[in-house]
Amino acid sequence: MRKIVINTCYGGFSLSHTAYLRLRELGQPVALQEEDAGEHHLGPRTPSLNMFCTQIARDDLKLIQVVEELGAQGNGHCAELKIVEIPPEVKWEIAKRDGIELVREVHRQWS
């Protein structure tokens, strides 16, 4: 099964500063390229600064590892992360509504 990380509450997907630092330890490229706003401003406990790695691929193996390791400590500001599993052959996309996400299968469409 393929694992994908989604956000299940209003607000949108993001990671906590703790999760961001763990991804950097693991050498995840998106996290390594992102500036650590927690170091330069008010600190990682400021809620608005706990919004890291919003552009990371949701099936990134290091992201999945960190979400599994940290549980709720991995949640960014206004995020509640969950790992869903789908069959590996499925072409998928993330659908969003007010920040709440779900994984759905991509279907063909014409207009």
Please write the tens of the pLDDT for every residue from 15-44.
Answer: 998 999 999 999 999 999 998 876 555 455
Domain ranges of the chain: 2-105
Instruction: Categorize the per-residue pLDDT at 49 as very low, low, confident or very high, splitting at 50, 70 and 90.
Output: low
Instruction: Categorize the per-residue pLDDT at 48 as very low, low, confident or very high, splitting at 50, 70 and 90.
Output: low
Q: Are 6 and 94 in contact (CB under 8 A)?
A: yes
- If one counts every other C-beta atom within 10 angstroms of the C-beta of residue 109, the result is 5
Q: In the prediction, which pLDDT does 55 show?
A: 93
Q: Are 18 and 70 in contact (CB under 8 A)?
A: yes
pLDDT at 60 over 90: yes
Q: In the prediction, which pLDDT does 107 show?
A: 85
Task: Name the E strands within the chain.
Answer: 2-7, 81-86, 92-97, 100-105
